[in-house]
């Protein structure tokens, strides 16, 4: 099977959700999935769901917590760079059919690791691995390197009316 590179980007809701939908579909087909979450380092409902599918889906967070309201520090940068290196090795190991780099686009935007480092991971992708990269503000070089790019565009969001993130829906 030929594996392709997907990018889910844009300002709209649903990038991580789309990636997890693909992970669920892959697990249902008996494929092994590795999900690497960059930036995120907190408890999310998808982590609890994946525990039930641990024979098929492995998830690891390479973020130290939500830093969008502050500048990333040296620890954030170190965790992301070491994580990307580890994920590259995992992707090339032959143990997984699908590898998801959740919020990797945001990681490049905040200089946690370089766009060039992410492109190197894309280039190192083995033929049979499906690679999914999510996050707002995908760099044009990442878009160019991808086989499939989907932009989530926000038209309307209830957050603008004061609705906070809800467990099981947004977190």
The structural domains of the chain, ordered by start, are: 5-161 (3.40.50.300)
18 to each of 38, 104, 126, 160, 164, how far by Cα in Å? 16, 15, 22, 22, 21
* Helix (H), strand (E) at residue 109: helix 104-109
How many alpha carbons fall within 13 Å on the CB side of residue 137?
Answer: 9
- What is the pTM assigned to this prediction? 0.91
pLDDT by position in tens, the chain (length 171): 899 999 999 999 999 999 999 999 999 999 999 999 997 756 677 777 788 788 999 999 998 766 566 778 899 899 999 999 999 999 999 999 999 999 999 999 999 999 999 999 999 999 999 999 999 999 999 999 999 999 999 999 888 888 888 877 777
* Helix (H), strand (E) at residue 6: strand 5-9
Strand partners, 9: 151
Indicate left, alpha or beta for 131 from its phi (over 0: left) and psi (-120 to 50: alpha).
beta
Q: How far apart are CA 112 and CA 109, in angstroms?
A: 8
């Amino acid at each position: 099977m030929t594996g392709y590179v997907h990018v889910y980007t844009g300002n709209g809701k649903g990038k991580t959700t789309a990636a997890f939908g693909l992970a669920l579909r892959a697990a249902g087909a008996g494929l092994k999935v590795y999900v690497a979450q960059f930036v995120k380092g907190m408890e999310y409902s998808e982590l609890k769901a994946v525990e039930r599918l641990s024979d098929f889906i492995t998830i690891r967070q390479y973020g130290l917590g939500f830093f969008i309201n502050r500048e990333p520090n040296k620890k954030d940068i170190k965790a992301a760079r070491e994580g990307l290196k580890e994920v590259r090795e995992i992707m090339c190991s032959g143990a997984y059919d699908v590898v998801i780099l959740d919020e990797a686009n945001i990681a490049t935007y905040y200089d946690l690791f370089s766009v060039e480092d992410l492109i190197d991971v894309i280039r190192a992708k083995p033929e049979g691995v499906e690679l999914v990269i999510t996050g707002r503000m995908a760099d044009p070089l990442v878009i160019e390197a991808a086989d499939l790019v989907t932009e989530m565009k926000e038209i309307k969001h209830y957050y603008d009316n004061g609705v906070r993130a809800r467990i099981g829906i947004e977190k």
